[in-house]
Amino acid sequence: MLPGLTTADLAATALFALEGAVVGAASGLDVFGVLVVACVSALGGGTLRDLLIGAVPTASVDDVRYVTVSLLGGLTAFATYRLAFDTSSEPVVLLDAAGLSLFAVVGATKAHDFSLPAFSAALIGTVTAVGGGVMRDLLVGRVPLVLREDVYATAALLGAGIVAAGLARGLDRTRVAVLGGMACFALRVLAHRYGWNLPTA
Amino acid sequence: MLPGLTTADLAATALFALEGAVVGAASGLDVFGVLVVACVSALGGGTLRDLLIGAVPTASVDDVRYVTVSLLGGLTAFATYRLAFDTSSEPVVLLDAAGLSLFAVVGATKAHDFSLPAFSAALIGTVTAVGGGVMRDLLVGRVPLVLREDVYATAALLGAGIVAAGLARGLDRTRVAVLGGMACFALRVLAHRYGWNLPTA
Amino acid sequence: MLPGLTTADLAATALFALEGAVVGAASGLDVFGVLVVACVSALGGGTLRDLLIGAVPTASVDDVRYVTVSLLGGLTAFATYRLAFDTSSEPVVLLDAAGLSLFAVVGATKAHDFSLPAFSAALIGTVTAVGGGVMRDLLVGRVPLVLREDVYATAALLGAGIVAAGLARGLDRTRVAVLGGMACFALRVLAHRYGWNLPTA
């Protein structure tokens, strides 16, 4: 993995942990339960990715930094919860979109590096980006956000698809990572701001 | 795997995707959410099977045809949803029973080919057949059908058990596949038609 | 693994199956559904552990004894359900605490044997101990006990942490297993008896 990607991956992990902890705290869980939900949110997607591509032990248990930043993110959220941290505020949506983009890019890149076909790499990038959130929502007993929110997983799929297609064509890794990440970020933020919806049946 | 089994496996995958998409559309999801539920329904059981036996990357991400037919099945259901496709109608029950039988047979056969004991192969066939449906139901927030419906997983276990026992005895692969599949199909369809129930505590 | 650990692991598996079956029967499931919930409760944590550390095929499908004792535990609970087996009674809490301790110790030890860092081994021991219960609760549609009950996973983390730290320092395996197991057991039982709570946000 590109060194810069790992740093960014850790930053996205901490952010998703923070968001997960807020969901857990809002459900009335105690500090341990909040940390569990934080870790699941932050590490679930990457763990699922590693299991699917056969990268075991998974990064989440093999590299202590991932759990460490997850716990730090979770504790931060727990400590500042009374400050009325609002997950639907503009800054949080921007940060979440950044995390989503990053996970999509890293996931697709890692799948490509494990010799999976481009189509699969795009899907694995998407799973990496949204998997943790799905597990978080299942734990606290609600229908996953990704199934309710329009243009969330779609944005991840766009970003991961650009990366997967670019890598399959042998394009420069940094360039496709930046391009895919920006596309995911832009689509997610614009869809949220303007309330873009996908059709329902 | 027998060539015929792969073809049948893909057909069953498409069918389970179609059924999953109907469940997702009935829950009011948008087109992307519907496709997610379709893919989870169609690919969840086989993915769990491959993870458990160590066949990674899993077929669901390594062979593009599986995702392709899942998406096609999901889109078909989405496009025809207004036609009031009824999942409890007789033809759908027959098709679902066929898919269940096939997944049970393929799952048990693959576990046998990975040198697992017969008892485990029977269980893995069952997990293959019902795993996707369990994940689908969890995603949309309902208690899994397999826990509510009498004689559903039981039929899968019967079919997978016949295959596992037959392969362990060195019998002809095609013959045990046909026998196991027919037993599963017959038990499921008869139990549905005559309302056979298992005892509760 | 130490021979004694395997015996104890099987005993804990049977106990967790029995508890899972009671939860399933209380949800009105038929005998097959009850056995499914029993197996998921008993085998879920260890299976997750094996997937994360790359020990595939997982012990749950590779060693027939695990499924066998799970089914026996489940059938026992089903057969004796009318005897009003009470999962919150003192003997059951003691037995459950014993199972929790054992799974935490075995999980951390196995992760250590797969060369994972001590921090990860502690977490994997915890996942082993509580994973099956989380899956059980998700299946029957309730928020996982581990997120609601104070000082449950915390006790598992304490025990697994002691084992992981001790093994990393090269201490005697039996000694750290006994020490970790006793610490987990004592914390869980005392917390339950005296109603110790963790802070909420």
CB contact under 8 A, A62 and C120: yes
CB contact under 8 A, A114 and B57: yes
Domain with B59 in it: 3-194
| C118, part of any domain | yes
CB contact under 8 A, C139 and B142: no
Q: What is the DSSP letter of B152?
A: S
| A128, part of any domain | yes
How far from A68 is each of B49, B176, C24, C69, C123, CA to CA, in Å? 31, 51, 36, 37, 11
| C90, part of any domain | yes
- Indicate if the alpha-carbon torsion angle C114, C119, C125, C127 is positive or negative: negative
Q: Pick the residue from chain A with its C-alpha nearest to C134.
A: A139
Quote the pLDDT of residue A160: 98
* Chain A residues touching residue C198 (CB < 8 angstroms): 30-32
Give the mean pLDDT of chain A.
90
Quote the pLDDT of residue C49: 95
| C32, part of any domain | yes
B57: nearest CB among A116, A198, A200: A116
Q: Which two tokens stand for residue A84?
A: 């009325």
Contacts of B126 (CB under 8 A, 6+ apart): B104, B107, B153, B156, B157, B160
| Distance in Å, alpha carbon of C21 to nearest chain B alpha carbon | 10
Residue-wise pLDDT for B7-60, tens only, equals 888 989 999 999 999 888 888 888 888 999 999 999 999 999 999 999 999 999
Q: Pick the residue from chain C with its C-alpha nearest to A79.
A: C201
Q: How far apart are CA A23 and CA C97, in angstroms?
A: 29
3-state secondary structure A1-14: CCHHHHHHHHHHHH
Chains in touch with A (3+ beta-carbon pairs under 8 Å) read B, C
| Distance in Å, alpha carbon of A13 to nearest chain B alpha carbon | 23
SS3 state at B200: strand
Residue-wise pLDDT for A179-199, tens only, equals 999 999 999 999 999 988 777
Q: How far apart are CA B137 and CA A114, in angstroms?
A: 31
Residue-wise pLDDT for A34-45, tens only, equals 999 999 999 999
Q: How far apart are CA C57 and CA B116, in angstroms?
A: 8
Tell me, what's the ipTM? 0.88
Please check whether residue A67 is in contact with residue C123, taking contact to mean a CB–CB distance below 8 angstroms: yes
Our separate counts of H helices and E strands in chain B read: 9, 0
Contacts of A89 (CB under 8 A, 6+ apart): none
CB contact under 8 A, B198 and C140: no
Contacts of C36 (CB under 8 A, 6+ apart): B146, B147, B153, C24, C29, C139
- Partners of B200 in beta bridges: C30
CB contact under 8 A, B36 and A116: no
Q: Is the pTM of this model over 0.90?
A: yes
Q: How far does Cα A147 stand from its chain's mean position?
A: 15
Q: How far apart are CA B167 and CA B201, in angstroms?
A: 35
**Phi and psi of B142, rounded to 5°?**
-130, 155
Please choose, from the candidates C114, C132, C134, C191, the residue with its C-alpha nearest in 3D space to the C-alpha of residue C159: C191
pLDDT at A134 over 90: yes
Q: Pick the residue from chain B with its C-alpha nearest to A198.
A: B30
Judge residue A195's burial from the number of C-beta atoms within 10 Å of its C-beta, 0-12 exposed, 13-18 middle, 19 or more buried.
exposed
Judge residue A76's burial from the number of C-beta atoms within 10 Å of its C-beta, 0-12 exposed, 13-18 middle, 19 or more buried.
middle
Instruction: Determine the longest span between alpha carbons in chain B, in angstroms.
Output: 49
Q: Which residues in A have their CB inside 8 Å of a CB on B?
A: 51-54, 56, 111, 114, 116-117, 119-120, 123-124, 134, 138, 141-144, 146-148, 150-151, 153-154, 197-201
| A201, part of any domain | no
Judge residue A83's burial from the number of C-beta atoms within 10 Å of its C-beta, 0-12 exposed, 13-18 middle, 19 or more buried.
exposed
| B199, part of any domain | no
| C201, part of any domain | no
Q: Mean pLDDT throughout C142-159?
A: 88
Q: Which residue has the tokens 């990366």?
A: A163
Q: How far apart are CA B117 and CA C68, in angstroms?
A: 13
Q: What is the DSSP letter of A152?
A: S
| A115, part of any domain | yes
pLDDT at C178 over 90: yes
Q: Pick the residue from chain A with its C-alpha nearest to B68.
A: A119
Q: Pick the residue from chain A with its C-alpha nearest to B137.
A: A143
* Chain C residues touching residue B143 (CB < 8 angstroms): 27, 139-141
The total number of structural domains in chain B stands at 1
Which of A32, A76, A82 would you mutate first to test chain C, the one with the most C CBs within 10 A? Answer: A32
C57: nearest CB among B116, B147, B151: B116
Q: Pick the residue from chain C with its C-alpha nearest to B199.
A: C30
Peptide bond into B91 cis (omega under 30): no
pLDDT band of residue C28 (cuts 50, 70, 90) is confident
pLDDT band of residue C135 (cuts 50, 70, 90) is very high
Q: DSSP letters of A40-61?
A: HHHHHHHHHHHHHHT--S-HHH
How many alpha carbons lie under 13 Å from residue A98 in its C-beta half-sphere?
16
Please choose, from the candidates C79, C64, C160, the residue with its C-alpha nearest in 3D space to the C-alpha of residue C118: C160
Quote the pLDDT of residue C82: 63
* Chain A residues touching residue C144 (CB < 8 angstroms): 139
